[in-house]
Homo-oligomer: A and B are copies of this chain.
Amino acid sequence: MALTLHHEAPDFEARFAALLASKREVSEDVDQTVRAILARVRDEGDRALVEYTNRFDRNVFSAAELAISHEEIEVAVAGADPGIVEALTLARDRIASHHARQKPVDDRYSDAIGVELGSRWTAIESVGLYVPGGTASYPSSVLMNAVPAKVAGVERIVIVVPAPDGILNPLVLVAARLAGVSEIYRIGGAQAVAALAYGTQTIRPVAKIVGPGNAYVAAAKRQVFGTVGIDMIAGPSEVLVIADGDNDPDWIAADLLAQAEHDTAAQSILITNDAGFATAVEAAVGRQLKALPRAETASASWRDFGAMIVVPNLEAAIPLADRIAPEHLELAFDAAEDFAGRIRNAGAIFIGRHTPEVIGDYVGGSNHVLPTARSARFSSGLSVLDFVKRTSILKLGPDQLRMLAPAAVALAEAEGLAAHARSVSIRLNM
């Protein structure tokens, strides 16, 4: 049974604030362990990488066996269910065509006094993509990270994916192949992040590392940040569904459970203007849980972090949604389009009764890597912009320099930076 809050209750604000403040993740303190792993791989290269890989993943690889060969990739493709390959291909194409619209455009212009200014975008040269092993080894995530990098023009994309006990999800290789990635290593954990950041004899370093991982991977990414770029640190997934009483409670229950089955720390919240509907959804959740393979995970998530909020009208949901700043926001009511335009903080919005969030996980075309834990207040989902960077351009002739010099010299002197002032004035014989 999930927490139920009533907007009109006297203690609503306190209970809602407590819901917002609730920590869903206990972050393990693995910083020291990770620091040692990073240092050894940086100093010893392949030797340390192989040792850690064999120890943590229970393997017996040599350095030469870390790279996954083209033949292995082709075997994975040949052995895959054609229906799945087709579905991944559809997803790949839809992701590529949506993300192609995100490519930023260069700007170059002269202003009123003839100063030329510009912004020039270039792709990051090389990117490493971390793919988790085991049950969270999702081919869809490979596409969601690799395709935007490819669209951005990144020449070298390197995938690392651990193979605990030698086992690898072949669909990860299929997705990599569909995304056009052929440099793949069977390594994981902090040692894989170290190899990508510092390079080893076998693996050339990259300029940026993206992709989700466990506490060790997250800590390693934080620690190598600066040496390389990193993407956001993803927390457990979450959905906010806003629905009126005209929905089938079973549809909405299914959406809440789709989020809950990810992780015991996932969070599903329903806001509705119909208290009876909330009760019906709760009952439907209970029924559907019985038939769910991942019932244990989903019921723990729903019990510990699930919430239903009853509001007097949907209007009252807008400020609540902005404070929750959900990763996924599903709007299941007729006026959803207008409502969506008035929401400020959300990673992605799914409009209308026929847009379950799951479509966005796979084949909608938009990215499923989205800001979690209220970070939609200040950050965005993964996009082509994460794989490019901008260089500013400035160009003055003698006339423009003469016009801007007095202000530049005045400010440099006001800031006590005489050599700054001199670098301008010397060109004017001032």
Contact = CB atoms under 8 A, between A and B. Distances in A.
B140 A348 contact: no
A1 interface: no
A30 interface: no
A414 to B, nearest CB: 5
Interface in A63-91: 81, 83-84, 86-88, 90-91
A255 B376 CA distance: 42
Nearest to A113: B94
Interface string A369-399: 0110101111111010100011111111110
Given A125-B377, A251-B423, 5 more contacts: A87-B410, A125-B344, A261-B420, A347-B392, A356-B423
Q: What band does the interface of chain A fall in when counting residues whose beta carbon is under 8 Å from B? A: 35 or more
B250 A393 contact: no
A308 B379 CA distance: 41
Chain B CB within 10 Å — which of A258, A343, A375, A389 has the most?
Answer: A389
A140 B359 contact: no
A293 interface: yes
A22 interface: no
A3 interface: no
Contact of A423 (B94, B352, B357): B357
Interface string A200-238: 000000011000000000000010001011000100000
A139 B94 CA distance: 47
Contacts of A362: 407-408, 411-412
B393 A376 contact: no
Contacts of A248: 426
8 contacts: A117-B366, A226-B233, A261-B419, A294-B418, A354-B401, A361-B408, A379-B389, A381-B392
A394 B400 CA distance: 47
A358 interface: yes
Contacts of A381: 390, 392
B411 A363 contact: yes
A39 interface: no
A138 interface: yes
Pairs of residues from A and B, 3 with the lowest C-beta to C-beta distance, nearest first = A229-B378, A87-B407, A348-B392
A422 interface: yes
Contact of A394 (B350, B391, B416): B350
Contacts of A102: 107, 119
